[in-house]
Structure 1
Amino acid sequence: MSALTGRALAELILVGAVCGVLGVQVVLRRLAFFSETLGHVIFLGVIVATMAGTDVKVGAGLAAVGAVAVMGRSGLASRRHHQRSGVVVSGALALGVVLISARPGFSKDLTAALVGSPLTAGTGDIAAATGVTVLVAVALTIGHKELTLAAFDPVVTRALGYRTRLIDGGLLALLAVTVVTAVPAVGATLPLALLVGPAASALLWTRRILPATLLGGLLGAATGAAGLAISLHYRIATAAGTAVICGTLFALAATTSTLTTRSTPARQRACDATAT
């Protein structure tokens, strides 16, 4: 295994693991479409940063902060506002393409921004992915009870004295950091597959949130590794191959779970998330 392949494997395993772990909360809260919207806004930030000669992580980070601040405050992250979120998705993507078309010879940067390039991942990318993985794991461990309660019954959560706005804001911030970290590996448009596929599959295979979170992380890491292996063998885009594996994994989980288990609220949300 070459050094490039080794770094790409480490990057995809870390990104897959953190997306699988955090994805359980994304599925439970029906934030799949918000994750897609966030990815498109980050794509616009990456394009602007590249054109300005700035580090793409700076552009992606600023775009993510702006998206979370605006969409979280206005309620666009909730499922009730999917139509208005759709305007943001199409508008951000269209503006990014307009900026690219105005600059000749920019197609290579477009491809990297859209679908990522894990084989070019450096030690800095791996360090960032490791840090975010630890951050997400610690945050979900400390706030497991509050996050789960707020996901299923925010009214009761507020009645018990918890600050749901702070809980929601913290989760959106974790989601933004995770998507930004995933850009070098799977681009700005495909983190949704890693966020939803492994987590939704885990929720179809187990009824408890904590085991589903651990299983989602393992499935995400395995999916990332498998995506790299398939891309190297068949010479296809790594992120696209990973997304296909995520879809296949969910189809397998949906088929086997309906034969052995009954429907639960978590399973219904897993199916709803993949339907978005």
Structure 2
Amino acid sequence: MAVPGPAPIPVPASTPASAPASSVGPLLRDWRRRRRISQLDLALRADSSARHISFVETGRSRPSEEMVLRLAEHLDVPVRERNALLLAAGYAPRYTETTLDDPAMDVLREGLTELLRAYEPYPAVIVDGTYTVVAANRGIALLMEGLPEHLLAPPLNVMRITLHPEGLAPRILNLPEWRGHLLDQMKRQLALSRSPALRELYDEVAAYPVPPSGSLTPADGAPCPVLPGFALPLRIGHDGHALSFLSTIATFNTPMDVTVAELAMETFLPADPATAKYLASVTT
């Protein structure tokens, strides 16, 4: 059956910026504690003093706009939350949030579509900060064949599609390990983000009942190959074959826009020759 080409990039649902606190001090203190950094260590990194950091956190001193951004940089605060820090300190947001259908994003959209197409026949998908699908290629469409319509209705969400008991979960041959990997990934993201939408998504997918893993032969019917031990593979069934992938995630370096900062491209590289051969045969 023919698989459609890369999906056009729609506009992901935007997440409102975090509501600013009464002052920037408590927010900065919270981020510092999340990172488990002492006031002295933060002061040394930001070329300041522990006394000044203490005064900022307790509200006795109002940091300059430059200092807010410097502290946010050393605390690895996400771009969206840096705007919240600036607002809490009484400054205008520094980072724009441009929707993907804006003409200014034309080059970006075209580039992402080309990346997805170039990776075929291997699966690749682009998601936003809450794992909503922005675009996907034919390799991803192949893996999602036969899923129920309610999971494929927009907006598609990769965590929901993957972990739902009616989604890909029953097809994943190493589901306990892969499910644990995905939930740990979301936990790490939650430690970096104050997103209520992400927390709600995590609570939803973590509560899904876990169906039993399947059992299939490799894609060419040969004995199961020894998979690489340096990374956890995704092992998933398709049309009676067992496919194995290694995944990578790429993000934009030093983004200056909230939308761009929250985009991530996940690619799935065949972990054995049989998987590569099978994908080539079914997508040509």
Length-normalised TM-score, structure 2 = 0.24
| Richer in strand (by share) | 2
Q: Which has the larger radius of gyration?
A: 2
Length-normalised TM-score, structure 1 = 0.25
| Richer in helix (by share) | 1
